Amino acid sequence: MAKNKFNKNWIHDHINDPYVKLAQKEGYRARAAYKLKEIDEEAKLIKPGQVIVDLGCTPGSWGQYTRRKLAGGKDGGINGTIIGLDMLPMEPIADMHFIQGDFREEEVVAQLDEILAGRQVDLVLSDMAPNLSGIPTADAARMEHLIDLAIEFSQQHMKPEGALLVKCFKDMGFTQIVEKFRTEFKVVQQKKPKASRDKSSEIFLLGRGLKHPADA
């Protein structure tokens, strides 16, 4: 009974959510686009000409927002490169490269390297989150693991002065994750956009400038 009540409450909140309505109106696949939009407008992350990688990009709202920011290239295309990676399939987005698979696997890395063609990445975005078990210690470990993967990816592919934006949760090993970011990045900021639901412990970490790039 309690579960049914929770589901009904969630559906009610979702239907009446102003960001859900706005996403439908503006053609975004998910309300998450507005989290990135708010962070980007404040931190000025996305700029024309950049190479941007979106980890865990499905369903694609972050890719849609990024594409709109880079619009204005030749023949109506974009000024820059967007690459999305996810283990789940994604409906195509114009001008966005999509690679389905685990970015730790050689085949996926080979596809990524082909698109990059020797270039380094300016910005890495990660909206990845683990499948939750309900066991706090296990969920915290899974979240930390995803953050580790995003940091490692950045160290391997990102410009030393680049930036990494990741999703975290305050109740999932957050203190350790912040410490890890401070070890790896010169500047670390916490971001809680208005589009993040008040009830959610979701928070975003932004790291700028790698202290330990792979080729250092």
pLDDT at 198: 82
Rounded Cα gap, residues 64 and 2, in angstroms = 36
Across-strand partners of 185?
210
Beta strands at 96-100 and 81-86: parallel, antiparallel or unpaired: parallel
- From the list 35, 37, 69, 167, the catalytic residue is 167
What's the angle, vertex CA 181, arms to CA 103 and CA 127, rounded to 5?
45
Alpha helices in the chain (DSSP H): 2-15, 18-26, 33-43, 61-70, 106-116, 136-157, 174-184
User: Percent of the chain scored above 70 by pLDDT?
Assistant: 92
> Under a CB-based contact definition with an 8 Å cutoff, are residues 207 and 164 in contact?
yes
Q: What does the pLDDT read at residue 155?
A: 96
CATH architecture of the domain 31-210 equals 3-Layer(aba) Sandwich (3.40)
Residue 38 has pLDDT above 90, yes or no: yes
Report domain extents, the chain.
Answer: 31-210
Q: Is the whole-model pTM more than 0.85? A: yes
The answer on pLDDT for 77 being more than 50 is: yes
The Cα–Cα gap between 170 and 211 comes to 24
Q: How far is CA 184 from the centre of its chain?
A: 18
* Mean pLDDT, all residues of the chain: 92
Q: What is the pLDDT of residues 15-29, one digit of tens each?
A: 678 999 999 999 999
**3-class state of residue 125 by DSSP:** strand
The rounded distance, in Å, linking the Cα atoms of 181 and 173 is: 13
Summarize pLDDT for 197-213 with one digit per residue, the tens: 888 899 999 999 999 87
* CA distances (Å), origin 5, targets 9, 12, 16, 48: 6, 10, 16, 46
Annotated binding-site residues read 60, 62, 86, 102, 127
Parallel/antiparallel/unpaired status of strands 158-169 and 202-210? antiparallel
Residue ranges of the binding site for S-adenosyl-L-methionine: 60, 62, 86, 102, 127
Q: Which residue has the higher pLDDT, 49 or 134?
A: 49
Is 167 annotated as catalytic? yes
pLDDT digits (tens, 9 = 90+) for 125-176: 999 999 888 898 999 999 999 999 999 999 999 999 999 999 999 989 999 9
- Residue 187 has phi, psi (to 5 degrees) of -125, 130
Give the per-residue pLDDT at 1: 47
pLDDT exceeds 80 at position 92? yes
For 179, other C-beta atoms within 10 Å of its C-beta total 11
